[in-house]
Amino acid sequence: MSDKFTHLDASGNPSMVNVAKKKVTHRTAMARSIIALPKEVIQLFEKEDIQTKKGPVFQIAIIAGIMGAKKTGELIPLCHPLGLENCEIKIALNQKEEVVVECTASITAKTGVEMEALMGASIAALTIYDMCKAFSHEIVIKETYLVKKTGGKNDYTRK
């Protein structure tokens, strides 16, 4: 890990990281968002999804998450724009009746896809909130975090 901010130049001004001399490697990242739904929303589940007038919540959240991951470079100011090779969103209920969103992104490139995975998980979670808020405003997006990444200088797995 670096002991300095990578997005600041020698003068302390914002700067995109120069990846020109980095090696092209296959890079993957997986991020997770966890959403706590109140009982009145949990009770709406049918066949592992919530059906609304707008459509199946998880199916729409998957599409939104993929779209969000693809637009990361447009929304996070110093991220490199990347053409993802793959982006997969999985959504399920855990044993605590929380919704777990996992986004895995991959690319063969000079820079990683951690931000794309985090963006995909976040946008999917926000979409679930948006589609379920008519039933309750007690929905909580509890956390979003990087689970693991591979490729580049260092691999990482959350302990």
Write out the catalytic residue numbers: 130
Among the listed residues 1, 131, 6, the one whose alpha carbon sits nearest the alpha carbon of residue 80: 6
Q: Which residue has the tokens 């909130």?
A: 129
